[in-house]
Structure 1
Amino acid sequence: MYNLVYKSIANTLLLQAQIDEMLEHARVFNENNDITGCLLYHRGIFVQYLEGELEAVLALFERIKVDKRHSAVDLLSSSNIYTREFDTWSMAYLEGNIPNEAYEYIELMVNPVMEIPDMSVIPNPTSKRFWLAAKKLLH
């Protein structure tokens, strides 16, 4: 089992209908390829966690890198894992308008990565703690 985390910049601010359509396609593709994960979209920035078999995740990441809806695709981390974090979601999605302190925590962790790419903030989108916090928001 393998996971990777990347960030990218949306080429235009996306409407919710566009995100919904993108998620629908991603969920079908991921289900057919045994990939799970979570997508964050916040102020024009995507941060995504993908997990599955190495070859499937890397092949998907190659497709993601050439997708015209975003640019500056930056691999933040990748590693072998023993178990999935998002095993029940073909693609979980956290919206940027969740009005609570937990989402503010997620936002604070994402912002340094967007504004200061080399900043080492823990937890950050490359850490398991970050994605566990995201997972809690989904429940």
Structure 2
Amino acid sequence: MFNLVYKSVANSLSPAQIDEILVESRNFNGKHDITGCLIYHDGFFIQYLEGNVYVVSTLFEKIRVDARHYEVILLSKGSIYTREFDTWNMAYLSNNLPNEAFQYIKLMVNPEFEIPNMSVVPNPTSKRFWLAAKLLLNKIGHENFNKER
């Protein structure tokens, strides 16, 4: 099993365009046994992908050239023993979710921080960060999460 984390800057996307990205991602990921989480905050994306190394790496190369965002920066990649988001083809968190716990996630993706050299821990390259995202998703529940986006 393999995981990959990247960040990027969105190209002024509307909520409908983000919904389109989620539908495309969930469909593709479901067909290719990829799971993960997408976070969108203040024009920035951070995404965690997990699955087969070849499939995830090939997908990332397509993501890199997608015109809906730019400054795509690989933050981390590597082997993992188990999936973190095994029940989500593509989980989604954004500042649109009415949940106080999202304040923690917002702090970690704040563009004022340089993520690769962040002194704040955990950051999007750490397992603790994604565990916090997963706990937030579990708290919200699959039903609410699917309704939000």
Between the aligned partners of 2:55 and 2:119, the Cα distance in structure 1 is 29
Equivalence for 1:31: 30
Pair 1:15-2:47 in alignment: no
**Per-residue displacement from partner, 1:106-139 (whole Å, max 9, x unpaired)?**
111111xx32322232100011111111111112
Q: Shift of residue 96 of structure 1?
A: 1.3
Hey, what does 1:116 align to over in structure 2?
A: 113
Shift of 1:50: 0.2
Q: Tell me what 1:131 maps to.
A: 130
Deviating more after overlay: 51-60 vs 117-126? 117-126
Q: TM-score, normalising length from structure 2?
A: 0.87
Tell me how large the CA RMSD over aligned residues is: 1.1
SS at match of 2:101: helix
Give the gaps of 5 or more residues in structure 2: 139-149
Matched with 1:86 is: 85
Question: Cα distance, 1:45 vs. partner?
Answer: 0.1
Q: Deviations over 1:50-107 (max 9, x none)?
A: 0001000000000000000000000111110000000011100012122333100111
Distance, in Å, in 1 between the alignment partners of 2:99 and 2:26 is 26
Q: Letter of the 1:8 partner, please give it.
A: S
Measure, in 1, the Cα distance between the counterparts of 2:40 and 2:130: 14
Q: Does 1:4 align with 2:16?
A: no
Amino acid at match of 1:15: S
SS of alignment partner, residue 101 of structure 1: coil
Give the residue type in structure 2 aligned to 1:87. D
Task: Write the distance in 2 (CA, Å) between the matches of 1:126 and 1:138.
Answer: 18
Please, which runs of 5 or more residues in structure 1 have no aligned partner? none
Question: Which residue does the alignment assign to 2:61?
Answer: 62
CA distance in 2, matches of 1:9, 1:115: 13
What secondary structure does 1:59 align onto? helix
What TM-score, normalized by structure 1, do the two folds share? 0.93
